[in-house]
Amino acid sequence: MPLCMGIAVASGLPPEKGLITGIIGGIVVGWLAGSPLQVSGPAAGLAVIVFELISTQGIAALGPILIIAGIIQFAAGSFRLGGWFRAISPAVVHGMLAGIGVMIVIGQFHVLFDAEPLANGIENIIAMPGRVLGLDATNPTANEMALVVAGITIVIMLGWEKWRPPSLRLIPGALLGVMAGTLTAMVFQMDVARVAVPDSIIAAIDPPDGGMLALFGDPAILAAGLAIAFLASAETLLSAAAVDKMQNGARSDYNKELRAQGVGNLLCGAAGALPMTGVIVRSSANVQAGAVTRLSAILHGCWILGFVVALPFVMREIPMAVLGAVLVVTGWRLVNLDHATEMFRHHGWFPVVIWATTLILVVAVDLLTGVLVGIAFSLVELVPHWPRLRLNVDQQEHDDETRISLAGSATFVQLPKLSDALDKVRTDRKVTVDCGELAGMDHSCAELIRDWADRLNAQQCQVTLLGVDDRMQKLST
């Protein structure tokens, strides 16, 4: 609930809008999902672009944009395009998430001081020193008090997650941090800005009216809907792939998951709420808590609904700075430098350039520009191999072994084909993947093969990879 409300605030909307998305993501998308253990809701990854859309198009445009995005996602799933979203370069996706993380941190930094975020990333960065230098410990005002409760929230969150007893591992640090910051503000009667939520969640539903319907023909609205659909789908399927790596149960059906997300975003647009994606933070908590079926995601939505209906007066005591603190920690974790280090170690410098370019442009320009330029950079990897981009997958079954021989070029344009072939491999015998006949392999396919091999090895299926690193080096050079 704190994350749902915090993302709404970071998006420039009232906190109850995030709760509505969390409820729909749990109850509706959880029921329809193609990724059984993935949990959907408002995503920090879309907060930046939603804030920009509201600033330029107005709040009234968000409903039509999400309805369009939902229709596009449902159509993409129906036409079985889910695998193509997985073909987006991991360097672009991780660069996008890192850039979003930076944007969240520098924007919510100002909320820690009981102030509003500024219009764009550069302005937020420029204003940060002034926030710190403007503090006066001898005459504490709302700025100083907000920073105190935010600091308590961050310390409790990080401290609990580092030193919590194993027997209490299911209690999230964010919950304790929000409780500690809120109780501090209540006990000392601090005059800081607090969350405003309506008495009834029904009152927060704002369906499109007759005036909104005219927006569906606006080219800018159509383009925004396409952008939301693309980004939300990429983040959802990245999260679904990550969830599959964390557990050995049912695999994700990416096309079914896309259709479920489309229904969810269509309903969020009709309710005037935030866009949703599958979210790795919630999903990993779900897996770690021992979830085995989609009922856990459905109950997550039911719990949010129950608390919103029964305890709205509790949420009104939460300081805005506390929600900002939760988002600062969340955003900082998105800026994962380990991704860049791993890409450099396994795949050389070029994927790191793509990652860094995407990150910088997301912060300095906007999210869509960063992603599109990152994808354009990814295409550069194909240029030397354009005449021989075909990939041949030859699978042979022997008495006790499955042998897969790859020939041609393994690039991201062939990733859906490669992924489908690997997912059909039997796991009750030894498997050998021979990449010796490949002309080259990009980092997208190399990561796919390694992750697939790690998952099968965890299931006690012996997988041998031949020539992966050599083919990767050949393509990079």
Check pLDDT > 80 for residue 211: no
Residue 195: closest CA among 5, 326, 1 = 5
- Cα separation, 297 vs 27, in Å, equals 7
- Cα separation, 236 vs 276, in Å, equals 9
Q: Which two three-digit tokens encode residue 275?
A: 């866009």
Q: What is the DSSP string of 239-268?
A: HHHHHHHH-SSPPP-HHHHHHHHHHHHHHH
Residue 167 lies in a domain: yes
| 242 and 348 in a common domain | no
Residue 368: closest CA among 125, 66, 53, 61 = 53
Residues 394, 369 contacting (CB under 8 angstroms) = no
What tens digit of pLDDT does each residue of 223-238 get?
999 989 988 998 888 7
Residues 391, 439 contacting (CB under 8 angstroms) = no
Residue 81 lies in a domain: yes
- Cα separation, 258 vs 236, in Å, equals 8
Residues 361, 369 contacting (CB under 8 angstroms) = yes
**Which of 55-64, 392-401, 454-463 comes out lowest in average pLDDT?**
454-463
Write down the pLDDT at residue 387: 64
Residues 303, 30 contacting (CB under 8 angstroms) = no
Q: Summarize the confidence of residues 151-155 as an average pLDDT.
A: 96
Mean model confidence pLDDT for the chain: 86
Last residue of a domain, one of 300, 325, 350: 325
Q: What is the DSSP string of 101-135?
A: HHHHHHHHHHHTTT----SSHHHHHHHHHHHHHT-
Residues 443, 347 contacting (CB under 8 angstroms) = yes
Write down the pLDDT at residue 424: 84
Q: How far apart, in Å, are the Cα atoms of 176 and each of 5, 16, 96?
A: 16, 21, 29
Residue 330 lies in a domain: no
Write down the pLDDT at residue 385: 61
What tens digit of pLDDT does each residue of 274-283 get?
999 998 777 8
| 348 and 312 in a common domain | no
Q: Quick check: pTM over 0.95?
A: no
Residue 123 lies in a domain: yes
| 361 and 219 in a common domain | no
| 53 and 93 in a common domain | yes
| 245 and 118 in a common domain | yes
Q: Which two three-digit tokens encode residue 458?
A: 């965890």
Q: Which of 14-18, 22-26, 348-352 has the highest mean pLDDT?
A: 22-26
What SS3 state is found at 109? helix
Phi, psi of 194 (to 5 degrees): -120, 165
What tens digit of pLDDT does each residue of 134-146 get?
888 888 888 999 9
Answer with the residue of higher pLDDT: 269 or 136.
Answer: 269
| 412 and 321 in a common domain | no
Residue 6: closest CA among 103, 96, 111, 121 = 111
- Cα separation, 220 vs 448, in Å, equals 36
The tally of domains found in the chain comes to 3
What tens digit of pLDDT does each residue of 357-388 get?
999 998 888 777 888 899 888 888 777 666 66
Write down the pLDDT at residue 79: 93
| 42 and 24 in a common domain | yes
Residues 434, 406 contacting (CB under 8 angstroms) = yes
Answer with the residue of higher pLDDT: 405 or 371.
Answer: 405
Residue 415 lies in a domain: yes
Residue 107 lies in a domain: yes
What tens digit of pLDDT does each residue of 296-344 get?
999 999 999 998 888 888 888 999 999 889 889 888 887 888 888 888 8
Residue 40 lies in a domain: yes
- Cα separation, 285 vs 170, in Å, equals 8
What SS3 state is found at 10? helix
Check pLDDT > 60 for residue 132: yes
- Cα separation, 135 vs 28, in Å, equals 46
Residue 304: closest CA among 199, 205, 201 = 201
Check pLDDT > 60 for residue 474: no
Q: Which of 37-41, 324-328, 436-440 has the highest mean pLDDT?
A: 37-41
- Cα separation, 269 vs 20, in Å, equals 11
Check pLDDT > 50 for residue 473: no
Residue 263: closest CA among 63, 29, 64 = 29
Residue 177: closest CA among 165, 159, 195, 196 = 159
| 278 and 244 in a common domain | yes
- Cα separation, 86 vs 396, in Å, equals 26
Using DSSP bridges, classify how beta strands 276-278 and 401-410 pair: parallel, antiparallel or unpaired: unpaired
Residues 24, 268 contacting (CB under 8 angstroms) = yes
| 466 and 444 in a common domain | yes
**Domain range for 393:** 386-476
Task: With cut-offs at 50, 70 and 90, classify the pLDDT of residue 210.
Answer: low
Residue 143 lies in a domain: yes
| 373 and 314 in a common domain | no
Write down the pLDDT at residue 470: 62
For the domain that residue 462 is a member of, what is the CATH number? 3.30.750.24
Torsion angle of alpha carbons 280, 284, 286, 288, nearest 10°? 180
What tens digit of pLDDT does each residue of 390-401 get?
889 999 988 788
Task: With cut-offs at 50, 70 and 90, classify the pLDDT of residue 178.
Answer: very high
| 342 and 272 in a common domain | no
| 435 and 344 in a common domain | no
- Cα separation, 174 vs 36, in Å, equals 24
Q: Summarize the confidence of residues 341-362 as an average pLDDT.
A: 87
- Cα separation, 429 vs 462, in Å, equals 7
Write down the pLDDT at residue 476: 43
Residue 320: closest CA among 153, 459, 139 = 153
Check pLDDT > 60 for residue 477: no
Residue 293 CB neighbour total at 10 angstroms: 12
DSSP 8-state code for residue 365:
T
Q: Which two three-digit tokens encode residue 354?
A: 């793509």
Last residue of a domain, one of 366, 384, 402: 384
- Cα separation, 322 vs 146, in Å, equals 8
Q: Side by side, which strands form the sheet with 401-410? A: 391-397, 401-410, 430-441, 463-466
Using DSSP bridges, classify how beta strands 276-278 and 391-397 pair: parallel, antiparallel or unpaired: unpaired
Write down the pLDDT at residue 404: 93
